[in-house]
Amino acid sequence: MRDIFSFNVLAGVLQTMLSLATPFLFAAVGETFSQLSGVVNLGVDGIMLLSAFFAFYTVLLTGNIWLGLLVAIIVGLLMGLLMSVVSVTFKAQQGISGIGLQILGLGLSSLLFKVLVGTVRTVSGFRRMRIPLLADIPFLGPILFNNTVLVYAAFLLVPVSWFILERTTLGLKIKAVGQNPSAADSVGISVNGIRYLSVCIGSALAGVAGASISISISNLFQDNITAGQGFIAVALVYFGGWSPIGVMGGALLFSFATSAQIWLQVLGVDIPASLAVMIPYILTIVVLTVSVNRGKQPAALNKQFFRGEN
């Protein structure tokens, strides 16, 4: 038992944690944009699945990881456009349309995978990129500065998003549309335009989240490879109080739980695997229950906007 608590194991747990936080960060920060504008996009998981497949397939065919990433973003954008058309233009109930998007993504990715690939195959995805000097810092260096590009990008995304949301006109417009669409509309902000943009930003980032699973973490694709991570990402937005920084805290908490569970199994600690896998899902429910940030919820969240009626 003693070696469980050794430095090496701790370093392993922490590094796995950073890498597992990547998809959560991209998806949840993206969803923050979407929700701040008033649209709950529950289809994140479906977008991640489809993007994960296309990123994987592109890399399998061409070997070009950057092209794979680009394709994932495009797929995410297209799915976001679909979500926007249904939920913003046609004013669908967002819970339902999001589930539709999720089922579509799940079905389509599974169909394409079975027809185009068929068996489990691996690709060589993003490699770890060691940052000189910084990586030489004892203990913390190798953990923080020896990761894939996507890990760095995910953590860079947090301050960038914070800046966009808090310090730019666009961020102000997004929040205005989510708080009081009628008022925003009356000062000439296009409510639908901003919501389209926010949903598409969120979906493109969900696309990157999908790619980070299939061409950076696992380097493979299989049916329902996200296992509900997209939904956890949506929950993280509530947990994080609609702020990129809060979301990052949540993402780290979840990836730490997952990482610790994986390491416990690797080390052969005797708990049934399926019970260990349950932990993040139970944690999500707990987190949703105790989230104290409800006051910060955008006032028009999950509400359709009818011009001139409210």
Partner 1 sequence: MKEKRQKPQDPNQLLSRDSWFELGLRTLFPFLGVLVALLVSAVVLLFLRVNPLAAYAAMFRGAFGSMSGWYQTFVKATPLLLVGLGICIAFKASVINIGGEGQIIMGALAGTAVALRFPDAPAFMLVTTCLLAGFLAGAFWGFIPGYLKARFKVNEILSTIMMNHIALQFMNYLLSGPMMDPEARSAGTFLAQTARLPAGSWLTRIVPQTLMHSGVYIALTLAILVYVFLWRTTIGFRIRAVGLNPQASLYSAINVPVNQALSMTLAGGLAGLAGIIEVLGVHRRIIEGFTGGYGFTGIVAALLGSLHPIGLIPASILFGGLLVGANTMQRAMQVPAALIQAILGLVVLFVSGSTLGIQQIIKKRRISVTAAIKEDQS
Binding region for partner 1 (CB under 8 A): 42, 46, 82, 85-87, 90-93, 95-108, 110-112, 114-116, 223, 227-228, 231-232, 234-235, 238, 272, 274-275, 277-278, 281-282, 284-285, 288-289, 294, 304
Residue 39 beta carbon to partner 1: minimum distance, rounded to whole angstroms = 13
Residue 38 beta carbon to partner 1: minimum distance, rounded to whole angstroms = 15
Q: CA 11, CA 261: separation in Å to the nearest integer?
A: 14
Query: Residue 29: CA atoms inside 13 Å, Cβ hemisphere, count?
Result: 29
SS3 content of the chain, % helix, strand, coil (to 5): 75, 5, 25
Q: Which is nearer to partner 1, 42 or 55 (CB)?
A: 42
Q: CA 40, CA 238: separation in Å to the nearest integer?
A: 11
Residue 229 beta carbon to partner 1: minimum distance, rounded to whole angstroms = 10
Q: Which is nearer to partner 1, 263 or 281 (CB)?
A: 281
Residue with tokens 């796995």: 16
Residue 283 beta carbon to partner 1: minimum distance, rounded to whole angstroms = 9
State the DSSP code for 5.
G
State the DSSP code for 146.
E
Dihedral over Cα of 287, 255, 251, 53: its sign: negative
Residue 119 token pair:
């068996």
Q: Which is nearer to partner 1, 83 or 176 (CB)?
A: 83
With 0-12 / 13-18 / 19 or more C-beta atoms within 10 angstroms meaning exposed / middle / buried, residue 133 is exposed
Q: Which is nearer to partner 1, 83 or 220 (CB)?
A: 83
Q: Which is nearer to partner 1, 74 or 135 (CB)?
A: 74
Neighbouring C-beta atoms of residue 211, cutoff 10 Å? 35
Residue 41 token pair:
């996009």
Residue 127 beta carbon to partner 1: minimum distance, rounded to whole angstroms = 31
Residue 228 beta carbon to partner 1: minimum distance, rounded to whole angstroms = 5
Q: Which is nearer to partner 1, 150 or 253 (CB)?
A: 253
